[in-house]
Structure 1
């Protein structure tokens, strides 16, 4: 791992996931355990989920990535909301 401490590496990866235009994710948690990195959270598409793994592998190619991020389907409402 190129970073000195797991906390520093996790913070660096979290920042990269927030700043990379492919991901732009603020809600994904990064956890490091030895030479394994776990991504946890939810995103809006499978493509975005795959990009998370790509970004981490580009920055820390020696780590094994476990992408446990779920995909939440976001759809427009099918009916109008009634306000009283």
Structure 2
């Protein structure tokens, strides 16, 4: 990314990288860029996926400091039967 890029283009670039990279393939991670820092929020299924977000960002935007506040939300099998009414 260039320093001249408008913030909305930088955000779009980061979102696209996170969505298209096979290590992350994340569409639900929110991206906010202010100055030279990128803030990630949202939810992913594993700790490894969260770490991969940092790796991808280091490659596509090494000039940005990353604040990764993404939460881990397990997507395992249900522990009990769901009742529909």
Does TM-score exceed 0.5, indicating one fold?
A: yes
- Residue 82 (structure 1) shift: 4.6
Q: Which moved more, 1:53-62 or 1:70-79?
A: 70-79
Ranges in structure 1 where 5+ consecutive residues have no aligned partner: none
Ranges in structure 2 where 5+ consecutive residues have no aligned partner: none
Question: 2:2: which partner in 1?
Answer: 2
Summarize the Cα distance change of 1:40–1:82 in structure 2 as closer, same or farther, 3 Å threshold.
closer
- For these two proteins, the number of residue pairs brought into alignment is 84
**TM-score when normalising by structure 2:** 0.89
Secondary structure (helix, strand or coil) at the match of 1:31 reads strand
For the aligned residues, what is the CA RMSD? 1.5
Question: 2:71: which partner in 1?
Answer: 70
CA–CA separation in structure 2 for the residues paired with 1:40 and 1:80: 31
- Residue 75 (structure 1) shift: 1.5
